[in-house]
Amino acid sequence: MTTTASSTTPTSDAGSLPVVPHWIDGTEAPSTSCRTAPVYDPALGVATKHVALANQAEIDRAVASAAAAFPAWRDLPLAKRQQIVFKFRELLEAKKGELAEIITAEHGKVVSDALGEITRGQEVVEFATGLAHHLKGEFSEQVSTGVDVYSTKQPLGVVGIISPFNFPAMVPMWFFPIAIAAGNTVVLKPSEKDPSAAIWLAKLWKEAGLPDGVFTVLNGDKEAVDGLLTHPDVRAISFVGSTPIAKYVYETGTAHGKRVQALGGAKNHMLVLPDADLDLVADSAINAGFGSAGERCMAISVVVAVEPVADELIAKIAERAATLRIGDGRRNCDMGPLVTKVHRDKVASYLDIAEADGATIVVDGRNTPIDGDPNGFWLGPTLIDNVPTTSKVYTEEIFGPVLAVVRVASYEEGVALINGGAFGNGTAIFTNDGGAARRFQNEIQVGMIGINVPIPVPVATFSFGGWKDSLFGDTKAHGAEGVRFFTQQKAITSRWLDPSHGGINLGFPQN
Ligand code: NAD
């Protein structure tokens, strides 16, 4: 079976373009809403397909299918559930090149980077192949005379996953391998900007032997999101996206009685101390600032240079930026286009703001030569020095290849700046002073910290998530927190009857 991205009968909105359908009951479900949105190839600058946007009837159908599949999936022996996850992992490993091409064609990131995101998602699949270990309960013998207490972890039921455009494979894979292995059924609402990866993953699950209804893809926009947030049969929501929507999802979902984890936006700083290896810092700033065109929630967007390093460091970053090849992700370039024209223009508008606010544009991405179609959504790597911390270039998440430099006089000033920000997703310190690094990891108000590592995304056995406006709810993705999110515990107190313990006693039982 070839797990290609799919297409079905076009709707009137789509003209002659194919329409990415939903995936319900183990098969493609063409749109019945007659509402679609265009999906672009960002390197060509043209819509290549449309995506179905669900209406209420489709939302109800998707959730009903997932709810119907739940009891049998929950009751399937754990070993059998894990075997299906194993099979999914093997198929993913064998076929991930196909998925990478689909991602590049809709997101724009270069193929090697698309493969990288799949590999990081696959880590969570591999974690879930051993979930039996994490689903073990606890047991305390003889807590009272003849009484034992033990706990079990059970699945919740139907869980919703709502994902952003920037990692169409990895972010859903932060959640669904654990949710499914734990015995839940999943409704995934992917980003409408790059929906085909989700359908490809659904077909892979089918090939791996997952029963119909355990993994559903509901394509759509706000209507689909609101439908999941308010549906009485959806027990939990895992969301990843921008901060305003994360906050809305958290508030709406919890108001409707759901367990919600909502990961939001970011503005990640890299603090560079004067003793750091500036070649390593410059390489890291380039990789973490411009990889995936800066469309990563763990991208570095601000370099905080503790003087006197700024001039030398900026020269090294600018020199490296000039060597990058920007163009079509299928042509072995270093960096691809931005996801849509609207987003490209919004990111470029921050260069005008920087100029108006008195910052210095050292490398101007508007002038970068491009190896790609002139209609693509291009903006080259941009480096801006002397960014005032009152400027929107500093305070707002730009989510593009724009690296700001802020100069500070001391370590303390740098830490105060980072801790004063609204976001707390990731941060990094570059230094050769172990004492300074240790102090930083203790003092900084951020959820994920790199020490001489610019994008400190924890491996799957740990949990991923930020602090402050980067995470609403108290549970992070994958690792132990992921298992906790997708399970509910029962505590069982048991006594096998002994006639000597009869009798009436209205007080709390004691030893
Ligand atoms: P987005 O918030 O626009 O969209 C995310 C999801 O929410 C999509 O599925 C979208 O359909 C839905 N959505 C959009 N508007 C909505 C509305 N008004 N009501 C209900 N649902 C709505 O985010 P995006 O542009 O797709 O992704 C980029 C953002 O995601 C950035 O802010 C980035 O930092 C963030 N992000 C965060 C993490 C993290 O781990 N913290 C990871 C990846 C991306």
The ligand 1 atom nearest the CA atom of 397 = 32
pLDDT, the chain, mean: 95
User: What band does 508 get if pLDDT is binned at 50, 70 and 90?
Assistant: confident
How many angstroms separate the alpha carbon of residue 194 from the centre of ligand 1?
A: 12
With a 6 Å cutoff on the Cβ, whether 463 touches ligand 1 is: no
Q: What is the pLDDT of residue 505?
A: 79
Give the model confidence (pLDDT) of 309-362 as tens digits. 999 999 999 999 999 999 999 999 999 999 999 999 999 999 999 999 999 999
Percent share of the chain, pLDDT over 90:
93
Q: Whose CA is nearest to atom 13 of ligand 1?
A: 222
Pairing of strands 27-29, 22-24: antiparallel
How many angstroms separate the alpha carbon of residue 483 from the centre of ligand 1?
A: 23
With a 6 Å cutoff on the Cβ, whether 166 touches ligand 1 is: yes
For 20, 52, 166, 339, the CA distances from 192, given in Å and listed in that order, are: 10, 8, 11, 12
Give the model confidence (pLDDT) of 244-300 as tens digits. 999 999 999 999 999 999 999 999 999 999 999 999 999 999 999 999 999 999 999
Tell me which of 166, 171, 398 to substitute to probe ligand 1's pocket, judged by most ligand atoms within 8 Å of the beta carbon. 166
With a 6 Å cutoff on the Cβ, whether 381 touches ligand 1 is: no
Mean pLDDT score, 414-435: 98
Q: What is the pLDDT of residue 145?
A: 86
User: What band does 13 get if pLDDT is binned at 50, 70 and 90?
Assistant: low
Tokens of 298: 């763990």
With a 6 Å cutoff on the Cβ, whether 202 touches ligand 1 is: no
Sequence-distant (≥ 6) Cβ neighbours of residue 500 within 8 angstroms:
none
Specify the pTM.
0.96
Give the model confidence (pLDDT) of 200-234 as tens digits. 999 999 999 999 999 999 999 999 999 999 999 99
With a 6 Å cutoff on the Cβ, whether 164 touches ligand 1 is: yes
What's the CA gap between 416 and 127, in Å, rounded? Answer: 37
With a 6 Å cutoff on the Cβ, whether 192 touches ligand 1 is: yes
With a 6 Å cutoff on the Cβ, whether 230 touches ligand 1 is: no
Q: Domains, the chain, ranges and CATH? A: 19-264+464-488 (3.40.605.10), 268-451 (3.40.309.10)
The ligand 1 atom nearest the CA atom of 244 = 2
Tell me which of 221, 398, 448 to substitute to probe ligand 1's pocket, judged by most ligand atoms within 8 Å of the beta carbon. 221
Q: What is the pLDDT of residue 466?
A: 98
How many angstroms separate the alpha carbon of residue 166 from the centre of ligand 1?
A: 9
Q: Residue 406: what residue type? A: V
The ligand 1 atom nearest the CA atom of 246 = 2
Dihedral, 109, 110, 113, 114 alpha carbons, nearest 10: 70
Residue 4 has pLDDT above 60, yes or no: no
User: What band does 7 get if pLDDT is binned at 50, 70 and 90?
Assistant: very low
How many angstroms separate the alpha carbon of residue 243 from the centre of ligand 1?
A: 8
**415, 404 in Cβ contact below 8 A?**
no
How many angstroms separate the alpha carbon of residue 244 from the centre of ligand 1?
A: 9
- Ranges of beta strands (E only) in 420-473 are 423-424, 426-430, 448-451, 467-468, 471-472
Mean pLDDT score, 421-449: 98
How many angstroms separate the alpha carbon of residue 157 from the centre of ligand 1?
A: 24
Mean pLDDT score, 454-477: 97
Tell me which of 193, 225, 228, 249 to substitute to probe ligand 1's pocket, judged by most ligand atoms within 8 Å of the beta carbon. 225
**72, 243 in Cβ contact below 8 A?**
no
Give the model confidence (pLDDT) of 152-181 as tens digits. 999 999 999 999 999 999 999 999 999 999
Q: What is the pLDDT of residue 501?
A: 60
With a 6 Å cutoff on the Cβ, whether 242 touches ligand 1 is: yes
With a 6 Å cutoff on the Cβ, whether 237 touches ligand 1 is: no
Q: Whose CA is nearest to atom 42 of ligand 1?
A: 297
Percent share of the chain, pLDDT over 70:
96
Long-range contacts of 311-315 (CB under 8 A, 24+ apart): 312/278, 313/272, 313/278, 313/281, 313/282, 313/285, 313/405, 314/362, 314/383, 314/385, 314/405
Active-site residue identified among 53, 234, 282, 297: 297
Residue 9 has pLDDT above 80, yes or no: no
Q: Is there a catalytic annotation at residue 297?
A: yes
Q: What is the pLDDT of residue 3?
A: 39
Residue 141 has pLDDT above 80, yes or no: yes
Neighbouring C-alpha atoms within 13 Å toward the C-beta of 426: 25
How many angstroms separate the alpha carbon of residue 148 from the centre of ligand 1?
A: 46
